Amino acid sequence: MKAALAFVLFAAPLNVAAAPYGIILMAHGGSASWNREIEALRARVDARAPTETALGMADPAALQAAVDRLERRGVARIVAVPLFVQSRSEVLDQTRYALGLTDKSSEVLKRAYERMGAAHSAHGAHRHEFSQTRVKAREPIVMASGLDDHPLVSRILMERAKALSRNPASETVVLVAHGPVDDAAMPSWRNSMTSLCGALAGGGFRKCSFSLLRDDAAPEVRAAAVAELRAKVARAKTRKGRAIVVPVLIARGGIEEKIAKDLRGLDYAWDGRTLMPHEGFDAWVLERAAAADRPVFDRSAR
């Protein structure tokens, strides 16, 4: 009942045409086509509330530029909306530090960058840079939640699974997400994924399970996650059914190709379609911004 009510509320039109705040739409940067997709989303949301983008992984330069643009547009306050699968993220922990919302930077992300940087340097690849620089802003800033187990995510995953389904009663949906580096973040990720699996129960599937690849963690941690994923997909087949593997990822160009390689040799349904593009994200950004703004700035509640 709660899930149904949440979806009704999500689907209702939002009265935010006169929103007195500006939005920073935060997302990973990517290919030219992905960056254009984010820009198109920004432009649609901007028609309802002043919106600027900050692409990257807690990149203080991109965040500062977005803040500066919004302040030049005359906003009285700023809501940062992370287009990230999970709110509990070392990248978002560092983003909160960069925006002045916490006093502690992410040591987990710093160590991960150092590890990835060493590996990338050995192969002559681009390396990530960790920065302690913080954003300077005249106006107050607050951060919204990520996607987590929002009804929009459940809706999209159901659409993706049904598109691959032949006989739901004999099929197991296996959701696969990037996962965190930090062990301490695992409960939050598991809770969200468990909730998403529960929402898929209405699709008539035999079962839903999930795996977190922990793609940026130490190699042995990721190897164990891949072994667990392969076992879940293999079990679905041996029980006279099959697995439908659906990535819980924002966009293509990330680890979906790795997932296909990780599952090589197994029999399962897969098309690699990610959460975006989807028409529901305009309303999601506006909803998240309105919800984050209200507790901090709603003077009428005081």
Edge to edge, what strands does the sheet with 78-82 contain?
A: 51-55, 22-27, 78-82, 141-143
For 106-136, the pLDDT digits (tens) are 787 877 777 765 433 333 333 457 788 999 9
CA distance 168 to 164: 10
Tell me the CB-side half-sphere exposure of residue 256, using CA atoms within 13 A: 17
| CA proximity to 161, closest of 105, 88, 242 | 242
Structure tokens at 191: 């809770």
Q: Which two tokens stand for residue 72?
A: 């030049």
pLDDT digits (tens, 9 = 90+) for 133-148: 999 999 999 999 999 9
- The whole-number pLDDT of residue 116 equals 62
- What is the pTM assigned to this prediction? 0.85
What per-residue confidence (pLDDT) applies to 23?
A: 98
**Domain residues of the chain, as ranges?**
12-147+279-301, 151-269
Q: Is the pLDDT of residue 11 over 70?
A: no
Beta strand 171-177 with 207-212: parallel, antiparallel or unpaired?
parallel
Residue 151's contacts (CB-CB under 8 Å, 6 or more residues apart) are 3, 6, 7, 10, 199
The CATH number of 12-147+279-301 is 3.40.50
Q: 195 versus 33: which is more confidently predicted?
A: 195
**Mean predicted confidence (pLDDT) in 227-253:** 91
The arithmetic mean of pLDDT across residues 156-160, rounded, is 98
Please state, rounded to an integer, the average pLDDT across all residues of the chain. 86
Question: Same CATH topology for 12-147+279-301 and 151-269?
Answer: yes
Evaluate whether 243 touches 231 at the Cβ level (below 8 Å): no
Q: 260-276: per-residue pLDDT in tens?
A: 999 999 999 999 999 99
Give the pLDDT of residue 15.
40
Q: Report the percent of the chain where pLDDT is more than 90.
A: 69
**pLDDT above 50 (res 101):** yes
55 pLDDT tier (thresholds 50, 70, 90): very high
The fold adopted by the segment(s) 151-269 is: Rossmann fold (3.40.50)
Lowest mean pLDDT among 45-49, 105-109, 214-218: 105-109
